[in-house]
Amino acid sequence: MSHYRTTTYNRRSQNWNRNQNTARFTSSVKLGPVTHTVLVALMVTVLGLIYLTQATRATGYDYQAQAIEDKIAELASEKTDLKVENARLTALESVRSSSVAKEMDTPDSTTYLKQ
């Protein structure tokens, strides 16, 4: 007995490749070119709003960082002023407690010149 295999080739079966679906989905809703343009514009708008939201957050953090840097600069200036004040007061105390100042006498009376 001989076995014959008949194969019919049509246009659709020639396009079948390995690991691909053989059924095609066809949408029941048909959209025109205007609707596609509107949908694309809507998607671009939504993506733009998302981008702006993220950029605004980054700007908010930048303002906070700037405020902290201003506070650091102000405190550094105050620290410098306090160092100068400390040096001035320390110098006055060291002059009063020096050996030269201890050997000095306080005057008994003080007179001022009138003009």
pLDDT number for residue 21: 65
Cα dist from 96 to 85, 93, 106, 108, whole Å? 17, 5, 13, 19
Whether 70 has a pLDDT exceeding 80, the answer reads yes
Domain membership of residue 108 (yes or no) is no
Q: Using alpha carbons, list the distances in angstroms from residue 65 to 52, 56, 72, 78.
A: 20, 14, 11, 20
Cβ–Cβ under 8 Å, residues 89 and 95:
no
Q: What is the pLDDT of residues 24-62, one digit of tens each?
A: 777 778 888 899 999 999 999 999 999 998 888 877 788
- R_g over Cα of the chain: 46
| 9 found inside a domain | no
Asked if the structure places residue 2 within a domain, the reply is no
pLDDT of the residue at 40: 95
Q: How many structural domains does the chain have?
A: 1
Residue 22 falls inside a structural domain:
no
- pLDDT tens, position by position, 94-111: 888 888 888 888 888 888
The domain in which residue 90 lies consists of 28-95
**Does residue 19 lie within any of the structural domains?**
no
d(CA 96, CA 104): 10
- Please report whether residue 10 resides in a domain: no
The residue behind tokens 């998302």 is 50
Gap between the Cα atoms of 16 and 20, Å rounded: 7
DSSP reduced 3-state for 94: helix
59 within domain boundaries: yes
Residue 85 placed within a domain: yes
Cβ atoms of 50 and 56 closer than 8 Å: no
**Residue 4 — pLDDT band, cuts 50, 70, 90?**
low
